[in-house]
Structure 1
Amino acid sequence: MSGSYNIEPLAYKPSSSAGYPDEKNQHQVRSPDDIDVKLSDNNTATSVAPFRGMGKEELLQHSSKPFWRRLRMICISIILLGWLALIITVVALVLIYPKCKSPDSRTWWQNEVVYRIYVRSFKDSDGNGVGDLDGVTSKLDYIKDLGVGVISLSPSYEDDGSDGDFHLMNHMKIDDAVGGDQALNRLITQAHEKGLKIILDFIPTHTSDQSDWFRWSQEAKYRNDSYRNVYVWTDTPTNWKSMYGGSAWNESSVRTGEHYLHQFLHNQPDLNVRSPQVKEKLNEILVYWLNKSVDGFYIRNSAYMFEDYDLRDEPKLQYADGDDYGDYDHKYTKNLPEIYDMFARWRTTMDEHMNRVLMADPDPTSSVKDMVKYYGHFQRDGVQLPIRKRSFPSNCGGKCIGKYVSDWMNNLPSGRWPTWLFGDETTERFASNHNESFIRSFAMLTMLLPGTPVLYYGDEINMMDLATLTPSSNTSRLQPMRGLMQWDDTPNGGFTNSSMPWLPLGADHQTNNVKNQSAKGDSLLSFFKNLTTLRKEDTFRIGEYYPAAVDDNVFSFVREFDGKKGYLVAINFASVPQKRDYTKFHSTIQSTASFDLTTGGSESFDSDIDVDTSDLTLGPMQGVVVSWDFVAKEL
């Protein structure tokens, strides 16, 4: 065909060697220049060899041209940018996407409710009218059934017989009045068999003036005597005041002209915790009880462990015109930063013994930002559970409760765990200034928020302060919030067989007691058991927390955990009904939810009827818990 090319095959020329190609030229490769191409008369091309592409030199010559160089750089840049974008996307997804949590990722002191017991008032086992450790042991089944898992004991160490809890003679011996060391051993053994933990008070601030340590310190004649500086001594007293009135300095009857420090009572001299010997002794006390299988310690009066090294006078408050404790700024005797170093030292000791806990009582007048330093300071771990006192008025509403919660939650350091104190032996009982509806609402709040609740014995049956006693201005044991536990309606309330218990019984013990409340399905005692049961759900143990509707009357929040139920806890703290559309306050709240628990009240809920959270009415001082199936949204 005219205009086409015909490629003629290369002619075969047999070699002269037996019909085989010449061995010398057998592997010779022709270059493009060796290919003969000719055109026939009809313009058909003929070739003597196939075209095999550009040679190396020509290829390098073309590839080095600017166009090809730019094209290669563009392609390489696209590939590198693509990889970088992929890496950034993966990292962002890891950081943003909700982290998976194991249902067992909490420790025992996070999962359990702490039950605080004032030992002398809980149960008398030997008929002498005073509660003791064997009495606590006899009620372990009751404590277990209540749903709590940790028992915190009031000071039980050997004392000097004074009418107080902190007149310590020996930090490493249990007082015979509450059963002695063997009684504690029995309590620890049987508590552990039932899955309960035992926490002891730890008092590092002072001792009794009758203790061997103080006697040896007074008798030390030379400055190199080992016990001379175990306490705080000076021959030039400052203007420091005792918390209970008068000067914080008392002149020694032995060391003439010298005075010892006592921030509390005059017969409670302050230990010099700056002394290396005291630090060593205090650590020995911890190790001693840890080796006895104690599960943790509650550090008492922790804000007062250190005082100014130079013993400087404290400044008066600007508008103070008196000379009492409250007229001074206690910047040199309270909340000194050295306490955080001691917490870190003791935390190291606890960690060496595995799975133990430290609690402490920050000064209640301190700001929340100062309190949270107890968790750790300067990248060093401190105590796991600072116990913050509850502090709100009797008419506290939704916004007031919201501030109480948010002050703690919003200032909580990352990875730390809050606490919610219901009561203790130094705080007026709830029932003395709040009605039962408020108490139920507050219990629902503290039990279902993230954190560890601390319940005071008797609060579960609404015990009140003893009307026959008033809070004293000293450390006397005779305090109104330490009334005898009301077990039944017998003359002594089931507390003792003695006709002379050490404190009087509450006036309502015949009608308000454990026996009577156990028989009622709607009692406060039953409500507490329902709360401790609900608290064991994975959502409440490890789920996320989100505030929902919070206003002058209502406080509510959501707890959710992927693959488990989502919960709305809504509480009306007002004296009139409140209606809200709760679906507006958090995106995962379902409009149709199941009823789980209520505090009681005028609005009734039925477990067989769905709850409409978009039109939910709560009665006066009423709380409710509702739930729905929750699955986290994919990004």
Structure 2
Amino acid sequence: MEGNKLDISGKTSSDPPPSSYKPIPEKDMEDDALSRPKSLVKVKTSSEADGADEKMLPHDKPAEIICNEKSPQNGDAKLDIMEEKSAFVGLTKEELMKYANDPFWVRLRWFLFITFWALWVTMLIGAVLIIYAAPKCDPPPPRTWWQKGPLTNLKEPTLENVKHLDKNIKGVIITWPHDIYGYLDNISIIQAISAVKNQGSNVIIELDPTTSNVWFNRSEKKDPEFIDYYIWKEGSNNARDGSTSPPNNWVSQKNVSAWKYSETRNEYYYSPFDKPHLNFRNKAVLQQFTNVIQKFLALNASGVSIHNAAYLLVDSNFENEDTINPHSTVGHTQYPFYKHTKTHNLPEIGSLFKELRSFIRNKTENGPLLVAESLGKVESYKVNESLMVDMPLNSNVFSKTTISVNETVNSLNYTFNIDNIEWPLWQATSSGYPRDVLNIVTYLLPGAPLINFNETVDSDLLKIRESPSIMRGICGVYGLQNNTVLAFFRVTPGSPGVFVAFNPTNQTSVIDIPSEIPPLAKLEEVTVRYFSQNYNETAFMDVGVKRGARSVPVTAKSAIVLEYVPKREE
């Protein structure tokens, strides 16, 4: 039966016939294209098919047509239509020129131009004012004449001795040996003071203000004006015999009671130096002393040094001194038996010195107030942590016949870092070393040297001392080569550093500066600047020649001065 006839195509005759390809007339395609909106057409080939046979173009935007070479159907090309955004072209030159001379835009341009430059000038002026008004970093004040030094102590102030003073000595300390509250009638000393001044140096007058007999008789008779000029105290009554004894256990350095009895006043007066001791808690006494200072300043003195300063004040409650050791074999009348905290270096001395120094500063060109002896208790001379004594004397560090490097380093570090003494007065009296060796150390440490009056100042050493690193530089003190060499460096920004090595032993030592001194770890070479007369290492005896810093010989009991260029930290 034809209805059940098998077709060779694999389908029964009842299947619908396959659709046939019917070409679209070209005219219809042209009409369809004309009916669509105009668009920008770009033709590209693509190697990917998206499975879509057709894509309708939107009617409101340009289109992009991509031609696909690999069509899935009958080798036909596939067209992909994509959208493309239009770009803003801007105004043409002719359109812009319409606004060039428009009054509104002209005024706007001038307004912006003037505003810009006005703001720029304002910012410039503001920057200048900020720089001008900013707090200035003032340079440190220059060292005074007494800080520069050297200073000397003229024990016998005669015209002949003044003639032998070195011209480079900045200050001469002259002691007034008489009662300073009496008449200033020692003509030879007054002439010596004037001669020192005329020679170009300055005079520091040394005075002992603690004792005087000038007003004692009137004070003893209880003259109301002078009744408290001295330290008076009633004695202790003895119950057995009715006699009196000294008010307390204060003793003098002569191992006797520091009190003496007055039959006239029937009281004891304090006399630790066999003379009536003035009461510096009385403002009238302080005024008398400032009057004396004024007289000496009028005689060409430029500063004051106070002798026996530690004994100026005593305990106002007159309490007994504490004993050092109650079981000591030293007798109760012996001076070493007591601590002397009631009669020596009392805390109020700092305030007293503050008044005196202010007075001297106002009457001189920044003249100094010194103390003739080493300060036993530095804290007593401070007010609000500021030391009221200029250049405290240090006569202990370089006084021993044999100098220990370890002890010296500890002592120097204690002076600078514990006592916070910035600029001491160094007095080297050791007889175990050449004088020029001691001078090298004391000239170049922070402070000023106190030299013998007949010494000649070495101009080369003085030139090194006047360098910025010595006058203003920091100081680092070290013991090198197992404490056989005392070494220190001085350095300040912008100037070459100065390195000093002193060997107090009897053997030559070779020091390695970079390896033993951490702040100089990058140092490679040094320049020889100065050495003592007994220095005998030939390789380092050429002044101005550079040498390696890792092998510097320092011969026995000699000193050498080297210069170096500080290395900046990376």
User: What is the TM-score of this pair, normalised by structure 1?
Assistant: 0.61
Maintained 8 Å contact 1:409/1:418:
no
CA distance in 1, matches of 2:526, 2:287: 60
Give, in angstroms, the shift of residue 294 of structure 1. 1.7
The partner residue of 1:542 within 453, 456, 472 is 472
Max radius of gyration: which structure? 2
Give CA deviations for 1:415-440 in whole Å, capped at 9, x if unaligned.
x42221235xxxxxx3xxx2343x43
Shift of 1:539: 2.6
Q: Where do residues 52-131 of structure 1 align in structure 2 (5 Å cutoff)? A: 105-119=142-156
Q: Counterparts of 1:481-500 in structure 2 under 5 Å?
A: none
- The answer on 1:359 being equivalent to 2:370 is yes
1:215-248 deviation digits (Å, cap 9, x = unpaired): 2222325xxx111110111121211101122110
The answer to whether the 8 Å contact 1:144/1:196 transfers is: no
What is the alpha-carbon distance in structure 2 between the residues aligned to residue 386 and residue 217 of structure 1? 34
Q: CA 1:577 to 1:40, structure 2 compared with 1: closer, same or farther past 3 Å?
A: closer
Aligned partner of residue 220 in structure 2, secondary structure? helix
1:448 paired residue number = 444
Taking only aligned residues, the RMSD between alpha carbons, in angstroms, comes to 3.3
Higher relative contact order (CA 8 A, sep 6+): 1
Distance 2:355 2:537 in 1: 53
- What residue number does 1:174 align with? 184
1:612/1:409 Cα in 2 relative to 1: closer, same or farther (>3 Å)? same
User: Residue 205 of structure 2 aligns with which residue?
Assistant: 200
> How far apart, in 2, do the equivalents of 1:574 and 1:41 lie?
103
The amino acid of 1:261's aligned partner reads Y
Q: Do the aligned partners of residues 632 and 348 (structure 1) sit closer, same or farther apart at CA in structure 2, a change above 3 Å counting?
A: farther
Does residue 1:598 correspond to 2:540, yes or no? no
Counterpart residue type for residue 206 of structure 1? T
- 2-side partners of 1:135 and 1:45: how far apart? 111
Q: Which amino acid aligns with 1:546?
A: G
1:282 aligned partner: 289
Asked if the contact 2:40/2:62 (under 8 Å) is kept, the reply is no
Q: Shift in Å at residue 406 of structure 1?
A: 1.6
Structure-1 residue corresponding to 2:166: 144
> Counterparts of 1:445 and 1:608 in 2: how far apart (Å)?
20
Q: 2:182 aligned with 1:247, yes or no?
A: no
Q: What letter matches 2:424 in structure 1?
A: P
**Is the Cα contact below 8 Å between 1:399 and 1:554 reproduced in 2?**
no
Give the distance between the partners of 1:603 and 1:530, measured in 2 at CA: 20
Residue 467 (structure 2) pairs with residue 435 (structure 1): no
Query: Is the 1:174–1:180 Cα contact (8 Å) retained in structure 2?
Result: no
User: 302, 306, 317: which is aligned to 1:295?
Assistant: 302
Alignment CA distance shift 1:531-1:175 (3 Å): farther
**Quick one: which amino acid aligns to residue 357 of structure 1?**
P
- How many Å separate the matches in 2 of 1:203 and 1:291? 18
User: Residue 484 of structure 2 corresponds to which residue in structure 1?
Assistant: 553
Gaps (5+ residues) in structure 2? 1-36, 42-58, 64-82, 92-133, 236-245
Q: Structure 2: how far apart are the matches of 1:247 and 1:254?
A: 20
SS in 2 for 1:326: helix
Match of 1:506 in 2: none
Q: Structure 1's 378 and 44: CA in aligned 2 closer, same or farther, altered over 3 A?
A: closer
Counterparts of 2:553 and 2:545 in 1: how far apart (Å)?
15
Q: Is 1:400 aligned with 2:400?
A: no
Is residue 153–residue 451 contact of structure 2 (8 Å, CA) maintained in 1?
Answer: yes
Q: Does 1:261 align with 2:244?
A: no
Q: Give the Cα–Cα distance (whole angstroms) in 2 for the partners of residues 596 and 363 of structure 1.
A: 30
**Closer, same or farther: CA 363–303 of 1 in aligned 2, 3 Å:** farther
Equivalent-residue separation in structure 1 for 2:149 and 2:269 (angstroms) = 42
1:135 aligned to which of 140, 160, 168: 160
Change (3 A) 1:41 1:456: closer
Contact 2:394 2:425 in 1 (8 A): yes
- Structure 2 Cα separation of the partners of residues 348 and 580 of structure 1: 47
CA distance in 2, matches of 1:589, 1:202: 49
1-structure distance, mates of 2:374, 2:383: 17
Matched position secondary structure for 2:394: coil
Question: Residues of 1 paired with 2:493 and 2:323: CA distance?
Answer: 55
Give the CA deviation at 1:576: 1.0
The one-letter code of the counterpart of 1:143 is L
Q: d(CA) in 2 for partners of 1:611 and 1:276?
A: 62
Matched residue count: 430
- Counterpart mapping for 1:369-408 below 5 A: 370-371=377-378, 373-374=380-381, 376-378=382-384, 382-391=388-397, 393-408=400-415
The alignment's TM-score, normalised by the length of structure 2, stands at: 0.68
